[in-house]
């Protein structure tokens, strides 16, 4: 399956749990009475969010906003991204601090845009593989239609030909290509908040390792992105890809990136520049 066609097919995944935590082995939950609690640390790591423990409190900084919870209390403070002040929430159950680990009820996670599996277990990311050495390769820019560009990067395989291929496009613009998916994409964008999302689709004609690691540069500033930091898997593996096992991810650029100006992307020794919006 070609990476551009796959990019359109995975859009339906983006409104669900895929933009919370990628599908893989579940994180063990803690049941206390009738309440199911989820450990905060592994989920925050998976999302690339920041946890700031305090004296009897925990502050969770995520794309949608900042949540502060208090040990043994159902009270919480929520400040949505861009809001001038915080508001008070009453959670369904108190936050728990046990042996130095924080556990939160499901509605606290849902406030942060994290969804749970039907059986109540949270989703976790796979363990990243060691870095793959840069291979060199080539790049090109495709037009997906309606003036929407996709940057394609090709790593070189053992024979010197094209190996693993990556296609990168501006998630905000994909409804122009696939209008039927507008509601799905808009729902996903609401979860993301102020960050600027790029859809990354990975494919290969042979079973291969791939490196879920990019460097993005603009105006002398550089942002290393390595799964799970600022990258959320929405399909497949963060380490392996093949003909019947493509992968897709969303890279979250901080607000200082300007998508109307050139951005240089480096991946597995391939370096190219693209302007996502015109």
What is the structure's pLDDT at 177?
Answer: 81
| Strand bridging mode 96-98 / 101-105 | antiparallel
Q: Judge if 145 and 192 occupy the same domain.
A: yes
How far is Cα 254 from Cα 90, in angstroms, rounded to an integer? 30
How far is Cα 269 from Cα 243, in angstroms, rounded to an integer? 22
What is the structure's pLDDT at 129?
Answer: 31
CB atoms within 10 A of CB 123: 21
Q: Which of 79, 97, 123 is the last residue of a domain?
A: 123
Q: Which of 77, 97, 123 is the last residue of a domain?
A: 123
How far is Cα 192 from Cα 177, in angstroms, rounded to an integer? 21
DSSP 104-116: EEHHHHHHTT---
Nearest to 47 by CA among 193, 245, 240: 193
Q: Convert 217-229 to b/e letters by CB count within 10 Å (16 or more is b).
A: bbeeeebebbbbb
- List 39's β-bridge partners, or say none: 103
Nearest to 263 by CA among 276, 247, 245, 251: 276
Q: Judge if 88 and 189 occupy the same domain.
A: no
What is the structure's pLDDT at 131?
Answer: 32
For residue 228, whether the previous peptide bond is cis, meaning omega lies within 30 degrees of 0, is yes
Report residue 236 as tokens: 């497949």
* pLDDT tens, residue by residue, 35-72: 878 888 877 776 667 899 999 999 998 877 899 999 99
Are residues 22 and 126 in contact, defined by beta-carbon separation less than 8 angstroms? yes
Q: Judge if 158 and 49 occupy the same domain.
A: no
Nearest to 125 by CA among 19, 22, 234, 241: 22
CB atoms within 10 A of CB 264: 13
CATH code of the domain covering residue 118? 3.30.457.10
Q: Judge if 65 and 174 occupy the same domain.
A: no
Q: Which of 105, 123, 141 is the last residue of a domain?
A: 123
Q: Phi/psi at 250 (nearest 5 deg)?
A: -115, 125
Report residue 79 as tokens: 């400040």
What is the structure's pLDDT at 39?
Answer: 86
Q: Judge if 146 and 84 occupy the same domain.
A: no
Report residue 234 as tokens: 């929405």
How far is Cα 211 from Cα 252, in angstroms, rounded to an integer? 17
Report residue 136 as tokens: 């060199």
Domain limits for position 10: 3-18+129-274
Q: Judge if 216 and 79 occupy the same domain.
A: no
How would you write the pLDDT of the chain (278 residues) with one tens digit per residue? 443 443 333 332 332 223 333 333 445 667 787 787 888 887 777 666 789 999 999 999 887 789 999 999 999 999 988 888 889 999 999 999 998 999 998 788 878 766 554 444 334 332 233 333 344 688 999 888 888 899 999 988 766 667 888 999 999 898 888 787 777 777 777 777 788 999 998 888 888 899 999 999 999 888 888 888 888 888 888 899 888 888 888 999 988 899 999 999 999 889 999 999 98
What is the structure's pLDDT at 4?
Answer: 41
Nearest to 19 by CA among 275, 252, 253: 252
Task: Give the total number of structural domains in the chain.
Answer: 2
What is the structure's pLDDT at 127?
Answer: 28
Q: Judge if 170 and 247 occupy the same domain.
A: yes
Q: Judge if 60 and 147 occupy the same domain.
A: no
What is the structure's pLDDT at 22?
Answer: 35
Q: Judge if 98 and 160 occupy the same domain.
A: no
DSSP assignment letter at 173: G
What is the structure's pLDDT at 272?
Answer: 93
> pTM higher than 0.85 for the full model?
no
Q: Judge if 116 and 92 occupy the same domain.
A: yes
Q: Judge if 8 and 54 occupy the same domain.
A: no
What is the structure's pLDDT at 96?
Answer: 94
Q: Judge if 98 and 213 occupy the same domain.
A: no
What is the structure's pLDDT at 27?
Answer: 57
Report residue 31 as tokens: 């049941």
């Amino acid at each position: 399956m070609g990476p551009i066609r796959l990019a359109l097919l995975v859009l339906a995944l983006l409104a669900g749990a895929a933009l919370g935590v990628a599908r893989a082995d579940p994180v063990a939950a803690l049941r206390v009475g009738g309440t199911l609690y989820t450990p905060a640390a592994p989920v925050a790591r998976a999302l690339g969010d920041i946890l700031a423990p305090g004296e009897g409190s925990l502050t969770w900084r995520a794309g949608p906003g900042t949540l502060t919870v208090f040990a043994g209390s159902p009270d919480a403070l929520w400040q949505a991204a861009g809001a001038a002040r915080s508001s008070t929430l009453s959670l369904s159950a108190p936050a728990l601090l046990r042996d130095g680990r924080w556990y939160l009820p499901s509605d606290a996670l849902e406030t942060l845009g994290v969804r749970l599996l039907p059986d109540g277990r949270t989703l976790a990311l796979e363990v990243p593989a060691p870095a793959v050495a840069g291979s060199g390769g080539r790049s090109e820019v495709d037009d997906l239609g309606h003036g929407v560009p996709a940057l394609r990067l090709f790593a070189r395989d053992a024979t010197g030909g094209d190996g693993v291929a990556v296609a990168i496009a501006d998630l905000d613009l994909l409804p122009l290509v696939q209008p039927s998916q507008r509601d799905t994409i808009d729902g996903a964008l609401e979860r993301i908040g102020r960050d600027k999302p790029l859809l990354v689709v990975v494919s290969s004609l042979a079973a291969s390792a791939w490196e879920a690691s990019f460097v993005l540069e603009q105006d002398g500033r550089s942002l290393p992105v390595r799964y799970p930091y600022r990258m959320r898997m929405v399909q497949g593996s963060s380490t392996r890809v093949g003909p019947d096992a493509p992968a897709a991810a969303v890279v979250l650029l901080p607000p200082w990136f300007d998508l109307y100006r050139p951005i240089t992307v480096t991946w597995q020794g391939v370096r190219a520049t693209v302007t996502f919006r015109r």
